[in-house]
Amino acid sequence: MIRGGRPLRGSVSISGAKNSAIALIPAAILAESEVVLDNLPILSDVAVYSEILEELGARVLWDGNQMRIDPTHIRSIPMPNGPVKKLRASYYMMGALLGRFKEATIGLPGGCNFEPRPIDQHIKGFEALGATVTNEHGAIHLHAKELRGAKVYLDVSSVGATINIMLAATRAKGATIIENAAKEPEIIDVATLLNSMGAVIKGAGTETIRIEGVTELKGCRHSIIPDRIQAGTYMIAAAATRGDVLIDGVIPKHLEALTAKLLEMGAHVEELDESIRVIGQPEYQHVDVKALVYPGFPTDIQSPMTSLLTQAKGVSVLSDFVYSNRFKHVPELVRMGAKIRVEGRSAIIEGGPLNAAKVKAADLRAGAALVVAGLTVPEGTTEVFGVELIDRGYDHLVPNLRALGADVWREMEE
What is the C-alpha to C-alpha distance for residues 339 and 44, in angstroms, rounded to an integer?
A: 33
- What is the CA 312 to chain-centroid distance, rounded? 27
112 among known catalytic residues: yes
| 246, 10 Cβ separation under 8 angstroms | yes
Name the active-site residue from 112, 152, 163, 182. Answer: 112
The response to whether 75 counts as a known ligand-binding position is: no
| 321, 342 Cβ separation under 8 angstroms | no
| 130, 148 Cβ separation under 8 angstroms | yes
How does strand 59-63 pair with strand 383-385?
unpaired
Opening angle at CA 29, ends 167 and 214, nearest 5: 50
The response to whether 395 counts as a known ligand-binding position is: no
What is the C-alpha to C-alpha distance for residues 232 and 256, in angstroms, rounded to an integer?
A: 10
Q: Where are the beta strands (DSSP E) in 94-225?
A: 103-107, 132-136, 139-143, 151-153, 175-179, 200-202, 208-212, 221-223
The response to whether 295 counts as a known ligand-binding position is: no
What is the C-alpha to C-alpha distance for residues 203 and 255, in angstroms, rounded to an integer?
A: 21
Opening angle at CA 88, ends 85 and 93, nearest 5: 80
The response to whether 121 counts as a known ligand-binding position is: yes
The response to whether 177 counts as a known ligand-binding position is: no
- What is the CA 172 to chain-centroid distance, rounded? 27
The response to whether 19 counts as a known ligand-binding position is: yes
Q: Using the 8-state DSSP alphabet, how is residue 16 labeled?
A: B
Angle at which helix 228-240 crosses helix 364-376, to 10 degrees, equals 20
The response to whether 342 counts as a known ligand-binding position is: no
The response to whether 68 counts as a known ligand-binding position is: no
| 251, 185 Cβ separation under 8 angstroms | yes
How does strand 139-143 pair with strand 132-136?
antiparallel
- Amino acid found at 154: L
Q: Which residues sit in the known binding site for UDP-N-acetyl-alpha-D-glucosamine?
A: 88, 117-121, 300, 322
Supply the residues annotated as catalytic. Answer: 112
Q: Which residues sit in the known binding site for phosphoenolpyruvate?
A: 18-19
Q: Which residues sit in the known binding site?
A: 18-19, 88, 117-121, 300, 322
